[in-house]
Chains A and B, each alone.
Chain A
Amino acid sequence: DSGVTQTPKHLITATGQRVTLRCSPRSGDLSVYWYQQSLDQGLQFLIHYYNGEERAKGNILERFSAQQFPDLHSELNLSSLELGDSALYFCASSVSGSGREQFFGPGTRLTVL
């Protein structure tokens, strides 16, 4: 158990819908990172937040957005969902903003039908 929690564990929805994935980092960690992992794309970095501020952005689609709240939990919002958005979404946390040793959550499996 990494200490990072993600909810929900599974999510099944339809194309065109909007969903919110939630992540609670380990106690004391200020950074949250979001990743998407699909079979054909591998593990893709989406975005990094540090203490409430966006710090780095990867290949995150405009239909996706994220934020980190004052209590340091983070949410990833996915809208206008497409079949290709079906994937495992992981969040990770670390103490600093430097990327040293990230602790990954169990992931949310999103299925878009």
Chain B
Amino acid sequence: LAKTTQPISMDSYEGQEVNITCSHNNIATNDYITWYQQFPSQGPRFIIQGYKTKVTNEVASLFIPADRKSSTLSLPRVSLSDTAVYYCLVGDLSGTGGFKTIFGAGTRLFVKA
């Protein structure tokens, strides 16, 4: 399984765009990149998932360069409620042999007023 590396923490202000980058140098051909958000004492919540280029949904964008060795989660105009831990995961979603989800340490985002 590809190991991921993220910044331990980031600070931002309300209304700013936040970009969190994740490195996954050993990503395999079948691996997808998934981001989750977790608030204290709650289960993680799925944010976005992608394989290459750019994916956008109603809450975030995910940018993946051609070599796929990194990815960037972009949160537009953050608010105080976006203060949470953000996890980047990489894994094979081909459905063979089950899915061993490996969460790294995550990035602790703190949004200030």
Q: Which of B43, B91, B106 makes the CB contact (< 8 A) with A107?
A: B43
Task: Find chain A residues with CB under 8 A from B46 CB.
Answer: 101-103
Evaluate contact between B99 and A99: CB separation under 8 angstroms. Answer: yes
Count the B residues whose beta carbon is within 8 Å of the partner chain — how many?
26
CA distance A88 to B103 in the complex (A): 15
Q: Is the interface of A mostly helix, strand, loop or mixed?
A: strand
Count the A residues whose beta carbon is within 8 Å of the partner chain — how many?
32
Task: Find chain B residues with CB under 8 A from A98 CB.
Answer: 92-95, 99
B41 located at the interface, meaning its Cβ lies under 8 Å from any Cβ of chain A in the complex: yes
Residues of B that sit less than 8 Å from A by CB: 32, 34, 38, 41-46, 49, 87, 91-95, 97-106
Residues of A that sit less than 8 Å from B by CB: 2, 4, 31, 33, 35, 42-45, 48, 50, 54-58, 88, 90, 92, 96-107, 109
